[in-house]
Structure 1
């Protein structure tokens, strides 16, 4: 079944649910879901949506819409956007940031986001996951990752005894490797909040 068929079936199911509900609030929300699917279709994003769903099925980290080496590059890119992509994620030096912008686009900023730290923490809930590949050096791992034409959305690897998550962002054709040790930043923030009496 193609993504177009799936979208049409989902819209039909939502339409039936809308007809059968009595709640005006639920009717409005179901119509919103139907229109969101039309938005994907009519804006030529159906195949992109299909790829997004594959990443969701793979339990991959959340997608980013762009990747930059420096904050200056990211700020320059943001300055070219007449309508900044509010709440979208980007990578700056392989660290997640979220774009925050006003509705009129006159104010926008890039704020560090712990999304990937939470993702890796979830992967470690039952202990370190097994590595799919092992390397002695980062250079070996980079060569292996670069040699793959279409890598999986995510792969756990080991470099010199440390676990990394190799992530392929297919929507922007970007590869990144994240050490599992970034979770320690999350734990340190939690500890500071607890010691400061702020809780989670």
Structure 2
């Protein structure tokens, strides 16, 4: 079983436990399962699936996993009660397959604690509504991105990156060392939704992009906002990890999004029609 398959099973397990807690009005428990789910999201969007897999190989042989002593530094966060819940679940769960899934989640919290990432992960959970889709790297042009993709022996994956102002999805498969990237429509659905409500009338206006970027550095969007540059509206998206904003021209971004949806709909219609013959 690949690490991606393991994590997919873990997500299903969390969902089952969350629904059971909700059904019994155990809302604090449901909150902890949601927290663990978001920690899994953090590992994924930061491209650490294979890094976690390496940690997992070292951690899983133990019947009852140990708990990282570094969790003690995070008293007051949800990490400690979440770990206690997982240990209780491990003891109470008779099914070997589910026990294994709980061990994966215990290893996940230990991994974040041992690598010093638990504070950042907690920030991601608490402030997730203030986070734009996470991009882990920025490149000025496709050539730079291609050079990076080919040169890194063990790149983060799967992750979003920025090329100029555009999101791309980068992927790498450890099993056969294949890698690639494709355009990712990460912010277009939100922009479409916001435009249905209309651009706020008090949108800041600037003569040049440089002026807009300088203003955004001191007034960071959380996670996004509209600005006008030379009379054209842009959607500014804040990337705290990269210490920058991407600027998406509203009109052309929405036009490209409509074309993308049209092509997807066309492909769907063709798939539903299936193969056919012109002969009787």
TM over 0.5: yes
**Residue 157, structure 1, aligned to residue 226, structure 2:** yes
Aligned equivalents of 1:131, 1:35: Cα separation in 2: 49
**Structure 1 segments (4+ residues) deviating >6 Å:** none
Relative to the length of structure 2, the TM-score reads 0.59
CA displacement at 1:53 relative to structure 2: 2.8
2:143 corresponds to: 72
Contact 1:168-1:175 at 8 Å conserved across structures? yes
Contact 1:83-1:105 at 8 Å conserved across structures? no
Unmatched tracts of structure 1, length 5 or more: none
1:173 corresponds to: 243
Q: CA RMSD in A?
A: 2.9
1:106 corresponds to: 177
CA displacement at 1:103 relative to structure 2: 0.9
Return closer, same or farther for 1:186/1:24 CA change in 2, 3 Å cut-off. farther
Once structures 1 and 2 are overlaid, which stretch shifts more, 49-58 or 28-37? 49-58
Return closer, same or farther for 1:16/1:121 CA change in 2, 3 Å cut-off. farther
Return closer, same or farther for 1:130/1:13 CA change in 2, 3 Å cut-off. farther
Number of positions where the alignment pairs a residue of Structure 1 with one of Structure 2: 195
Larger radius of gyration: 2
Contact 2:199-2:226 at 8 Å conserved across structures? no
Contact 1:63-1:169 at 8 Å conserved across structures? yes
Unmatched tracts of structure 2, length 5 or more: 1-71, 273-280
